Amino acid sequence: MINWKNFDSLASYQEIKDVDRVNLVEVMTGENGAERVKNYSVPMAAGLAYNYAAKQVDEKVLAVLEKLAKEAQLTEKYKALYNGEVINTGEKRLVLHQLTRGQLGDTVTADGVDKREFYVEQQEKVAEFARKVHAGEITNAAGEKFTTVVQIGIGGSDLGPRAMYLALENWAKKNDRFKMEAKFISNVDPDDAAAVLNSIDVAHSIFVLVSKSGTTLETLTNESFVKDALKNAGLDASKHMIAVTSETSPLAKSEDYLAAFFMDDYIGGRFSSTSAVGGAVLSLAFGPEVFAQFMEGAAEEDKLSMNEDLLKNPEMLDALIGVYERNVLGYPATAILPYSQALSRFPAHLQQLDMESNGKSVNRFGEPVDYKTGPVIFGEPGTNGQHSFYQLLHQGTDIVPLQFVGFKSSQIGTDVVIQDSTSQQKLCANVVAQIVAFACGKADENRNKNFEGGRPSSIIIGEQLNPKALGALLAHFENKVMFQGFVWNVNSFDQEGVQLGKVLAKRVLAHETDGALKEYSDLLNI
């Protein structure tokens, strides 16, 4: 039987607070550090590995974290999730994003259908549509092939798919898998849509409107903006638009779209990259075979998350180390630092994934919690960040745990040798140097040049960023966030925090304002 208990009511909560702290400088210096780097690593799917040598943990801390994993019933709760129990208590919904990429357990039936079959059916419909577009069987009104796909969505309908597209764009071009350029319109700011429309040939563009409800204000506003542009170009908008929506939305059977592909209420926006939300744009951009490889990597990582052995479960281990850092060591933020330009928008996606999921101050039953929950997430790709915010990370008054991502080889496969090393070697040298510099520091009598060290980090290492590795990387962080939500006993699958602003914005637009709301509206000439 599963018990949903607050973190501070567990016996291991006090035990983890009392365990001896690890002196990171000491354990990471010299041969001690060399041994840790060799031994503190867990294999992941797609040739990736999670290395946590530079984290403030040792055998004693890990032993308590193992107790916490068992007492918090993390394996059982994950099993309940993928077997179709109502895990999203706030909205009384199942949580089924893992089911889009594989069957982990029992058959899950909802809305009178086998949900795995439903997701596969939608994937097959997307694949067939994409192949017809690529073959020139589906064309514009002039019988010409589409060359560009534009996704119109916001939040999870934009951040994840955009990050995944950018992550694979160069790989696809190098490996002859690039089919169509993809662009994204998200912000209701008209400058966003105008910038995209001015950069493309609208006559040869197909637009993907993503809205589960079919009523998302920003998305429908941008759709109207696009339709006006198509009309002004003398084009029939219905021949240039497809919808990704729910079967019950007003978009589902509208004649305004070439086709409609369906999602459901059991997949939150920030978890939707492996549904039709990501599937349509990624299959059009790279082909359905590439999207299938991406899904395969995610499915393999999901299976690893089932492992009851903490030290063989990279997502659970990453999650519990993060809980230890947040609730015991008192670190308020985590930086995501991919040493891969292709992952330039991955930190932004993880920012939504983590902060929208676990940025909660009440538990699953609506009761206040007396401990810290989700951290602040931020990040940029290296080495850009080194010349930006790393100053604070190295010598600031707050310690910020770091999550690096690095690959041995670039996506392009070609490089130049400058000063006896290639660009990729220089990139990898920087991430290695940063890990050790953060952990070990450097003593200097000049306090301005002194580095205290003791700044923890982990790194996920892979051979090359390809579709399968990207899928595994995505699933790792999705499952990490899930496990942390289970420990904190919060509902990681609703997002009531985004609703109040929407309600007030509608009042402003309807001129139903008073007090500060009216004064701010007047200042902005609304």
Q: Enumerate the active-site residues.
A: 356, 387, 502
Q: Give CA separation, 48 vs 41, 226, 387, 468, 474, in Å.
A: 10, 41, 27, 10, 12
Identify the burial level of 120 via C-beta atoms within 10 angstroms of its C-beta, where 0-12 means exposed, 13-18 middle and 19 or more buried.
middle
DSSP state of 362: B
Tokens of 463: 């051979």
What are the structure tokens assigned to 238, written together? 């219905």
State the Cα–Cα distance between residues 293 and 177, nearest whole angstrom. 12
String of DSSP letters for 417-462: EETTEEHHHHHHHHHHHHHHHHHH-B--SSGGG-B-----EEEEEE
One-character DSSP codes across 397-416: SS---EEEEEESS-SS----
Token pair 């079967």 is found at 247
How far, in Å, CA of 128 to CA of 291, rounded? 13
Residue written as token pair 């909205």? 91
DSSP state of 93: B
Core vs surface per residue 448-480: b (16+ CB within 10 A) or e: eeebebbbbbbbbbbeebbbbbbbbbbbbbbbb
CA distances from 464 to 121, 427, 435 (A): 31, 13, 20
Instruction: Choose among 95, 86, 34: nearest CA to 478.
Output: 95
DSSP annotation of 209: E
Q: What is the identity of the amino acid at 67?
A: K
Backbone angles phi, psi at 350, to 5 degrees: -65, -30
215 cis-preceded (ω within 30 degrees of 0): no
d(CA 284, CA 148): 9
